[in-house]
Amino acid sequence: MSGGGRLQGKVAVITGAAGGIGRATAALFSREDAKLVLADLDETGLQETLELVREAGGEALSKKTNVAVEQDVKELIDFALKTYARVDILCNNAGITGDLASLEGQDAEDWRRVLNVNLLGAVYGTKHVAAHMQERKSGAIVNTASVAGIRSGAGGNAYSASKAALINFTQTSACDLGAYNVRVNAVCPGLIETNMTKSVFDYARQAGKQDKLGYRCELRRYGHAEEVALAILFLASDEASYITGQALPVDGGNTASLNLPGMKF
């Protein structure tokens, strides 16, 4: 495919690629000439993304993967290496929301489920791609965290904790890998219209409150998956060659201002 060329010659593995931010990232990376290995639990959505990329002239393969299972993630990285003999970019993007329970209603099983996907999924990916990237002294890892990992008010307790931990893991793994010219960064999206936030958008529209969606952001609007994908592209590309260990909010200025008391959404 002949596109923008910012990822020319690079191979990228993207998890959570069946929709939303992962799909937008796959489409954008492909337009920038990357070869893709797409992963998700949702095989139908994954196939749709694959077709979207291929119909636009891109090169992509997919592998059903549960990022909460270390062996699955190892096999995903092995598959990418076996196919292309290199992985230049890993986007740890798969995520789930978990419960929006009261403090008294916190359920340990829900916490484990959320941490297993949102945190350990990224740990497994980073762990299993690290040796290859270290050996080549080259690589970029981009984790999809959240504004929920920076401040309260954008999700449940377990979700927020998982994203805060992911931001911290972005820093610690960047320290582990920096000497090998392997960069690790995160994006922290604000309110983005995807499947994950569908219920919020549906509720607001049904209640005639669509003008309230994203109104707490300085830009007075919610964001689009493509806008997050552009930030992921920047951090994954050589244009960010001197940036590592950072968490970049892509949130319309949401974290630049004070939150409203007691808000979870």
Ligand X SMILES: NC(=O)c1ccc[n+]([C@@H]2O[C@H](COP(=O)([O-])OP(=O)(O)OC[C@H]3O[C@@H](n4cnc5c(N)ncnc54)[C@H](O)[C@@H]3O)[C@@H](O)[C@H]2O)c1
Residues that bind ligand X (CB under 6 A): 15-16, 18-22, 40-42, 45, 65-68, 93-96, 117, 144, 146, 189, 191-192, 194-197
| 237/254 with CB nearer ligand X | 254
**What is the nearest approach in angstroms of ligand X to the Cβ of residue 46?**
8
**Tokens in use for 42?**
């949702």
145 closest CA partner among 14, 241, 242, 246: 246
Report in angstroms how near the CB of residue 84 gets to ligand X at its nearest: 20
Q: What's the min distance (Å) between Cβ of 20 and ligand X?
A: 2
* Smaller CB separation from ligand X, 34 or 41: 41
Write the single-letter amino acid at 213: L
Select 41 or 242, whichever has its Cβ closest to ligand X.
41
Q: Which is nearer to ligand X, 176 or 226 (CB)?
A: 226
Shortest Cβ distance from residue 116 to ligand X (Å)? 7
Query: Which residue among the candidates 124, 159, 215, 222 is catalytic per the annotation?
Result: 159
Beta-bridge partner residues of 63 = 39
Annotation marks residue 84 as catalytic? no
Catalytic residues: 159
